[in-house]
Structure formats: structure tokens, C-alpha cells
Amino acid sequence: MKAVITGGSRGIGREIALAFAREGATVIACSRNTGYLEKLHEALVVANPEGKHRCLPADCSRREDLLSFFEQVQQNNEIIDVLVNNAGMYRQAGLLEEPEGLLEEMLDLNVFSAYHCSRFFSKGMKKQGRGHIFNICSIASLQAVPTAGAYTVSKHALLGLSRTLREELRPFGVKVTAVIPGATMTSSWEGSDPVDTRHLMEPADIASAVLNAFRMGPGANVDELRINPLAAPPSR
């Protein structure tokens, strides 16, 4: 089994990568930070010494980086069983006051990276008649966050992309799950006022839910996986 994970070096992406490695998968991950990628590779080898893991530098907001990443993944004609579109960013700014170009930046990373990855890797999935795509959305995909306007728009778009992909790939036996986590302890909270961590989920919780959705039989799919903190989430 082979799993491709974008934005896999930290947070939710890292925990999902390790969860699939422990499940026996060979993991191919990318991110912009080579230092974190090296640490991820070390952890993947510990989690699954038999896997031929690769951690490749790529800025998923740049089309040329994605194309290079695709070529490296496919250099051995590998068929991908799982794609996790996790690459993304959060910026706190109201839609009407945000810096010029922020929405375009958000769309490039939060939406277009998932769009291009899904189009590319789903070709092999369709041919083999199986596969699973996970798009890491957000609670902001369902309800507007007025202090994060461009982020909200991008995550709404990612949920729409997930729903469209699901209907197009369903006849080929390929599953698509939109993962919709609430407040989770990731780097997006850096710089925020101190919060009670009891109101935040751990990235490992999201990874566990994703893996359980993947483990379901071929006749079942979790269309949208919503995960919320037990306690009321903090405000930004």
C-alpha cells in the first residue's frame, strides 16, 4: 500500500503519515520545510522499517513544484492507494480588510493544490478500480469565520471540490472523504492568545479518525468526517 500526503511534515499531516506507516503503508510526503521532512522520514522508518518512504520538498502552492513532485512519485510507475490533501495555510484577517492578494494565496495552496493532486493521482486509482482521497477541510468549510475571511472562502471551496470529486469517482470504486476538524492544536495557533488546550483536539485524533474511515470495506464510504472538540472551542 502506498500513501501520498501533502503538507505532511507537521501537525495533522505528520500524524496521518505516521498512522498510515504503522498500518503498513509506504508513505510519500511533501512539504516546504526540509528540516521537518528529515525528521518525518526518521519517524516513518521507525513506524514502518519495511516501507520505502520518501519525503520530498515541494511548495504545493506552485504548479511547477507540484509537477516535479508528481514526476518523482511516478518515476517507478507506482500506483497510489491513498491521497491525503493536507497542504494548507491559515491567516487571520477579515475579508474586507485583508492584504491584497491573500485570497489568491489561500486558493493556490488550500484549493488548487488539492485540485491538481486529485486530478493526477485519481487517474491510476480509476484504472485499478480502488483508492481513497482525503481532503483536509475545516469547520470553516461549513460556517463562516469572520476573522478569517479568505481562509473561510478557500475551505468552502475545498469542501465543494470534495463533493464534486466524490460523485465523479464513485462509479470507479474510488472513495473521497472530506475531513472536517474543529479546533486542533497545530501551528495555526502560533501567535494567538494563550488558550486552554483542553478545548483543542490533538492531531493524532484526526489521524485516528482518517485511518478508521480508510479501514472500512469497499462497499462503504465516509463522505464527510466531522470531528469536534468535546469542550467548547476557543475563539481566535
Active site residues per annotation: 151
* Angle subtended at Cα 144 by Cα 103 and Cα 82, rounded to the nearest 5 degrees: 70
Give the H/E segment covering residue 64: helix 63-73
Q: Could you write out the DSSP letters of every residue in 123-154? A: HHHHHHT-EEEEEE--GGGTS--TTBHHHHHH
Distance (Å, whole) CA 176 – CA 172: 11
* Angle subtended at Cα 205 by Cα 56 and Cα 233, rounded to the nearest 5 degrees: 115
* Phi and psi at residue 57, to the nearest 5°: -75, 135
Q: 215 in helix, strand or coil? A: coil
83: nearest Cα among 183, 6, 178, 173: 6
**What residue type is 125 in one-letter code?**
M
Residue 98's Cα: distance from chain center in Å?
Answer: 25
CA distances from 72 to 25, 29, 156, 165 (A): 18, 11, 30, 24
